Amino acid sequence: MATRGIERTILDDAARHESFLQYRRYRWLKIAALVSLLLVVAYLMIDVQPRHNGGSWLGYALGTLGALLILWLAMLGIRKRAITRGRWSLKAWTSAHVYLGLALIVIATLHTGFQFGWNVHTLAYGLMMLVILSGAYGISVYAVLPQGLSDSRSEMTGPQMIEAVNNLDKQIQGAAQPLSDADSAIVLESLGEDPFGGGAWRRLSGRYPSCANRAALRAMRSRLGEATGKQAAALEQVVTLLERKAAALQRVRGYVQRRALLEIWLYVHVPLTFVLIAALISHIVSVFFYW
């Protein structure tokens, strides 16, 4: 019976979803908060003359702790490639990464003694803060954006969204055949347009000011007011289709924007981690070089 009870417990444990943030009832949050609190108290209690700085015994202790912590935090990049379970599961590791990474703000700031300047030391500190803040950003967008990500796709897959645009292109192609050469050239711009057009900034901002489809829609609408008869009927159809394409494009671009917002932090977090380590090496070497 006892055995069965244990099995059930394990089963329950496994069945209940627990994010890396909540791992073991916020175990690492508590540890990190406690460490930070102790260090702040130590900082306030210990009298360093003439003022707190990285060169006091407390400063060196905090600096050593911070540097080792940075290296360990960076190890997540290696560790994450091996998914394991248990006390040192990847989830536990990630949880510790997040909360100890936040505690690093306290450790490193106390290490500086609030002395900043235009030098390699503050450079290392600034890079570290960028890495930590980008990580915090990453966690917050992971918490908020994925829901909107599936909403924005209206239950469609990526290729389906593109297919929808392509289908509309074909329909516009057909409907626009009676149009004059000048008009068809404008509509053609829309057809030839890459839905993903634009670089990282376009994607992040979600603004496509030179969108050819929008330009075509605007032009065809104004043309609709002047046209008569068969032309008008064709134009009306084209305008309707262009409007539908605009919606389809908006769906693609909204999704692309959310993905970009979700992924951009890694382009700060990961490369700057290595830059930070380089700055850290320079920082440490400089201190001992001019000992």
Partner 1 sequence: MAFLLRNISYSADGRQIVRSSRIRDDLLKIGRDPDCDIRLNDLAVALHHASLEQVSPTRVGVSAEAGLTVDIDGSTTQFGQIDVTIGGTVRVGPFQLRLLPQEMGSEDIAIDIERADTGAAEEKFDSSRFALAAVMPGKRPIAWALVLVVLGLFLVWPIWSFYSQERGKAEYAQAFHADRLWLSGSLSRGHAALANNCRACHVQPFVSVRDESCAACHTQVHDHADLARLQRARPNLGGWDRFQLAVQQTFGLDAGRCVDCHTEHEGPQQIPATPQQFCSDCHSDLDARLADTRLGDASDFEDLHPEFQPSVLIRWDGEQPRVQRVSLAQRPREMSNLKFPHALHLNATGGVAQMARRLSAAYGFGQQLECADCHVPTPDGVRFQPPDMEGDCGMCHSLAFEQIDGTIRTLRHGEPRQVVADIRSFYRAGLRQRPDVLGTPRSRPGDVNQIRLAVQQARARSAVGARADQSVRAVFSRGGACFDCHQVVPAPPGTLAYGIRPVAFPVRYMLHGWFDHRPHQAAQRPGQPRIEGSQACASCHRADASSDSADLLIPNVASCRDCHGGETTGLPVESSCAMCHDYHMDEGVPARLLRQQVRGRRWTTTVIPVQPQQAPRAR
Under the rule (CB under 8 A), what is the footprint of partner 1? 49-51, 53-55, 57, 115, 117, 119-121, 123, 158-159, 162-163, 166, 173-174, 176-177, 179-181, 184-185, 187-188, 191, 196, 198-200, 203, 255-256, 259-260, 263-264, 266-267, 270-275, 277-279, 281-282, 285-291
Q: Cβ of residue 177: shortest distance to partner 1, in angstroms?
A: 5
Give whichever of 54 and 101 is closer to partner 1, judged by the CB atom: 54
Q: Cβ of residue 291: shortest distance to partner 1, in angstroms?
A: 5
Give whichever of 90 and 175 is closer to partner 1, judged by the CB atom: 175
Give the closest residue to 259 by CA, choosing from 160, 162, 158, 166. Answer: 158
Give the closest residue to 106 by CA, choosing from 44, 31, 40, 30. Answer: 40
Q: Cβ of residue 79: shortest distance to partner 1, in angstroms?
A: 17
Give whichever of 93 and 255 is closer to partner 1, judged by the CB atom: 255
Burial (CB count <10 Å: 0-12, 13-18, 19+), residue 141 = middle
Separation CA 201–CA 259 (nearest Å): 13
Contact (Cβ atoms closer than 8 angstroms) between residue 160 and residue 195: no
Structure tokens at 31: 């540890």
Sign of CA pseudo-dihedral 232, 237, 238, 239 = positive
End-to-end CA gap in the chain: 67
**Contacts of 27 by beta carbon, 8 Å cutoff, 6+ apart:** 95
Give whichever of 97 and 121 is closer to partner 1, judged by the CB atom: 121
E strand or H helix at 20, and its extent? none
Give whichever of 9 and 115 is closer to partner 1, judged by the CB atom: 115
Give whichever of 2 and 289 is closer to partner 1, judged by the CB atom: 289
Q: Cβ of residue 27: shortest distance to partner 1, in angstroms?
A: 30
Q: Cβ of residue 153: shortest distance to partner 1, in angstroms?
A: 10
Q: Cβ of residue 24: shortest distance to partner 1, in angstroms?
A: 31
